[in-house]
Copies of this chain bind each other. A is one copy, B any other.
Amino acid sequence: MAVTNTTGLEDLLSEWHQLPKEERFGWFRGLPRNLREDLFLDLSSYEQSELVLAMPPHEQRTWMRVLAPDDAADLIQQVEDEDQRKALLDRLDETNRRDVQALLAYAEDDAGGLMSPRFARLRPDMTVDHAITYLRLQGRQMETVYYCYVLDNEQRLLGVVSFRELFASEGSKRIDQIMERDVVSVLEDTDQEEVARVIGTHKLLAVPVVDTEGRVKGIVTVDDVVDVVQEEASEDIQKMGAVSALEVSYMETSFWEMIRRRVGWLSVLFLGQLLTATAMDHYEDEIARAVVLVVFLPLIISSGGNSGSQASTLVIRAMALGEIKLRDWTRILLRELPSGLTLGVVLAVLGFVRILVWEWMGMSYGEYYYLIGGTLALSLVGVVLFGTVTGAMLPLALRALRLDPATASAPFVATLADVMGVIIYFSMASVLLRGTLL
């Protein structure tokens, strides 16, 4: 049967990933040519670069030429050694080299770094029949023929014709009669996350990249954007988990690289936590007099941390998806204040009930158990409210400072909530328990 359910290639890829790096090239060479090509095209740019660098020059030439210019540029961008980059560029033929060099001038994360210079161009005064014949001649030169861009003599964008439109139109009509003039485009230095958002919102298959004069420099296709979306989501997820974003996959990251990406934030958060120790130092007397208070301390501080994580997670993701903007901060605050209060009250009730249940079960916290319960309950309201509001506002504050809102926000909020939890709890205790336990 002609249909393969992807399994062959999937298995190959998985086998590739299991191999130690130094054995991969030998194994790759042993595959039949058509499998090698399929596998090569499915690898990430980083893996492609490793493979190509392991090859002798004449094989490098072959494999570099298999790639489209934007993919070749991506591969070269993965190589750190300047001489090796130059050598790989030299393996390309003249036209390709020029295209790739132009692409390398852009930052990797910009629309310019994502785009392909190969797209279908038409002139406004062509007829539909003429356009179709013309496109058939251009043939293999094009990255995508789903949209044809209509340009004037200075390469400025006049409009766009989808292939479906072109096909469905009468042969004698002129392109400028059928083209759509309202074209969504992005600039060369538009950030890739924004490019992904534009393509996603408008459900496009490709978006043209123009310079400030409106001249088309290339197109970004939606398949490039799927990678971007995954990459950006990984970055956010990792940062929210207090890990510096990995450059390559989990398994490809070396042991020490992995430690380096984790130890920084872990130490920063540890140093932040030393503040809780300092705060606790202040309450040593209270603790000595009412040890029972300490029993609930971890509960208090982690409730603040958990509610803070929830709020910051929601706000960070909504910002990444463009659902909320910086200017919405008052509306968010007005939502999160009552949310924090409500959630705090729920936990306070649970906490108070726990004290009562223990009391009924005979494991008493002493005659003032109801005061301890009250301290616990009120502190929970305070700390959950604080965690929720801080969790919602911190990502917005980071964005206002032009920092990435995802950066370790959740654990950061948890640390703040810990310190604040200690302060709220013991302050509450010194008010409520004065004259009884304290």
List chain A positions with a Cβ less than 8 A from chain B.
Answer: 1-6, 8-10, 13-14, 17, 38, 41-42, 132, 135-136, 138-140, 142, 144-146, 156-159, 163-164, 167-168, 181-187, 196, 198-205, 210, 214, 221-223, 225-227, 229-230, 233-234, 236-238, 240-243, 246, 249-251, 255, 258-259, 262-263, 265-267, 269-271, 273-274, 276-277, 280-281, 284, 287-288, 291-292, 294-299, 301-303, 305-307, 309-310, 312-318, 321, 323-325, 328, 331, 335, 338-339, 342-343, 346-347, 350-351, 354, 363, 410-411, 414-415, 418, 422
Residue pair B146, A3 in contact (C-beta under 8 Å): no
CA distance A201 to B422 in the complex (A): 49
Partner of A255, one of B2, B168, B200, B335: B335
Residue pair A313, B240 in contact (C-beta under 8 Å): yes
Please give, as numbers and ranges, the residues of chain B lying within 8 Å of A314 by CB-CB distance. 238, 241, 243, 246, 250
Residue pair A313, B243 in contact (C-beta under 8 Å): yes
Residue pair B315, A250 in contact (C-beta under 8 Å): yes
Residue pair B140, A214 in contact (C-beta under 8 Å): no
CA distance A302 to B418 in the complex (A): 9
CA distance A41 to B182 in the complex (A): 15
CA distance A223 to B251 in the complex (A): 29
Residue pair A343, B157 in contact (C-beta under 8 Å): no
Residue pair B6, A184 in contact (C-beta under 8 Å): yes
Closest B residue to A152 by beta carbon equals B2
Supplied contacts A163-B163, A250-B318, 18 more A-B pairs, CB within 8 Å? A6-B184, A6-B202, A9-B202, A139-B164, A139-B167, A140-B164, A200-B226, A226-B226, A229-B229, A230-B321, A233-B237, A242-B310, A262-B307, A270-B306, A277-B296, A277-B299, A284-B292, A302-B415
Residue pair A2, B230 in contact (C-beta under 8 Å): no
Please give, as numbers and ranges, the residues of chain B lying within 8 Å of A145 by CB-CB distance. 146, 163-164, 167
A379 to chain B, nearest CB (A): 13
Please give, as numbers and ranges, the residues of chain B lying within 8 Å of A198 by CB-CB distance. 6
Q: Please, could you name 8 A-B residue pairs with CB atoms under 8 Å apart, sorted by A? A: A196-B226, A243-B310, A259-B342, A271-B350, A273-B298, A277-B298, A298-B422, A301-B302
Residue pair A242, B309 in contact (C-beta under 8 Å): yes
Please give, as numbers and ranges, the residues of chain B lying within 8 Å of A203 by CB-CB distance. 41-42, 223
CA distance A428 to B155 in the complex (A): 73
A32 to chain B, nearest CB (A): 12
Residue pair B303, A136 in contact (C-beta under 8 Å): no
Please give, as numbers and ranges, the residues of chain B lying within 8 Å of A157 by CB-CB distance. 2-3
A299 to chain B, nearest CB (A): 5
CA distance A202 to B241 in the complex (A): 29
A-B pairs, top 4 by smallest CB distance, nearest first, are A241-B313, A139-B168, A233-B233, A250-B318
Partner of A200, one of B182, B227, B274: B227
Please give, as numbers and ranges, the residues of chain B lying within 8 Å of A132 by CB-CB distance. 132, 136
Closest B residue to A278 by beta carbon equals B295
A23 to chain B, nearest CB (A): 16
CA distance A411 to B321 in the complex (A): 23
Residue pair B259, A343 in contact (C-beta under 8 Å): yes
CA distance A305 to B181 in the complex (A): 55
Please give, as numbers and ranges, the residues of chain B lying within 8 Å of A297 by CB-CB distance. 280, 294, 297-298
CA distance A185 to B6 in the complex (A): 7
A252 to chain B, nearest CB (A): 8
CA distance A45 to B360 in the complex (A): 53
CA distance A297 to B295 in the complex (A): 11
Residue pair A229, B233 in contact (C-beta under 8 Å): yes
Please give, as numbers and ranges, the residues of chain B lying within 8 Å of A135 by CB-CB distance. 167
CA distance A387 to B309 in the complex (A): 18
Closest B residue to A41 by beta carbon equals B203
Partner of A411, one of B298, B299, B309: B309
